[in-house]
Amino acid sequence: MANACTSREYKKKKIVVETPEEAKAREERGEAAPEISSASDDDKPVIDALLVKLESDSKAVNQETLQAADFEKDDDSNFHIDFIDACSNLRARNYRLEECDRMKTKQIAGKIIPAIATTTAMITGSVTTEIIKFCQGWNDITKFKNCFLNLALPTTMYSEPDDVKKRMSTKDYDPIMMSGPTTMIPEGWTCWNKVTIDVGSLTLQGLFDWILANKGVELSMVLCGDLAIYNGYLPKNPHAARLDKKIEDLVKTINPEFDLPESRYYITLTVDGVIKENDAEMEMPIIKYCFKPAP
């Protein structure tokens, strides 16, 4: 029967795994990006058939038919290794990582069982307990717990987490920065606060006008990461020519390698300026500038 079968010619897949450092070095050498092998044309009808079957099977699944299953790597009839092999290789392909065959998956799964049964189970249980509290709507921080554990000793310690650290309040003089007066916007803001500007695409001057009208602040500097989009402290203000440019265009012009995919709808900005009303220095949290609607 095997002799009577006709098989397709074997074509070895070439999967290139490239780190960001390697990609940067390749670009500096002027070399083209490696070709990424796509799925075979023979895969599409198989995938389409599986999707149809999956949709049909999913309608027959209900809570009564579900039951717990103990993981067993040496029982091929339960398809546990097949499931893990498929999921892990899907992740590897998505992130351009090296894929592995079913036997290697089985070996790795067998070695990691002791870790899953001990530390991983302990951590998962502790984290899930805190998630359940959050999902129930608890907002009292004293009801939540930090967990420090070492199963080798063994020791487990729980403690109440500290409240989020707040920035200093508005004051006439800052003894740390030796400056003042300083105004907080908003008062007592934390690292989780941000000012969201969601009015569509703005020019740099439009950003200045929005901040002045809504926060009473005259900006003198705008940063995007380590990019200085506008610096009003420079002699003769050479950045004044940028005021009529769109912010997202300026970022790409200043740094063509800036990561701004099509799905990105906002840019994170850091600003500096003074309060127009009392000429006080301003400390403001990060600005989330939305230049197009969220997907």
pLDDT score at 215: 86
Residue 200's pLDDT is 93
Contacts by residues 271-275 (CB-CB < 8 Å, ≥ 24 positions apart)? 271/211, 271/217, 271/219, 271/221, 271/222, 271/223, 272/219, 272/220, 272/221, 272/223, 273/211, 273/217, 273/218, 273/219, 273/220, 273/221, 274/217, 274/218, 274/220, 275/183, 275/216, 275/217, 275/218
Cα–Cα distance between 284 and 189 in angstroms, integer? 8
Tens place of pLDDT per residue across the chain (295 aa): 888 888 888 777 666 777 777 888 888 888 887 765 555 556 778 888 999 998 888 887 777 777 777 888 888 999 999 999 999 999 998 888 889 999 999 988 877 777 777 888 888 889 999 999 999 999 888 899 999 988 888 888 999 888 888 766 666 666 665 556 667 777 777 888 888 999 999 999 999 999 999 988 889 899 998 889 999 989 989 999 999 999 999 998 998 888 788 888 999 999 888 887 766 666 677 899 999 998 7
Domain ranges of the chain: 73-163, 182-290
Q: For residue 24, what are the β-bridge partners?
A: none
pLDDT at position 63 is 75
Instruction: Give the Å distances, CA to CA, from 243 to 22, 62, 209.
Output: 37, 59, 11
User: How high is the pLDDT of residue 273?
Assistant: 84
Q: What is the pLDDT of residue 144?
A: 93
What pLDDT is stored for residue 242 in this prediction?
Answer: 93
- Amino acid letter, 14: K
Q: Omega before 186 cis (within 30°)?
A: yes
Residues across the chain: 295
Give dist(CA 213, CA 286) in Å, integer. 18
Q: Assign a CATH topology to domain 182-290.
A: 3.10.290
Q: What is the pLDDT of residue 168?
A: 62
**Three-state secondary structure of 170-192:** CECCECCCCECCEEECCCCCECC
pLDDT of residue 69: 76
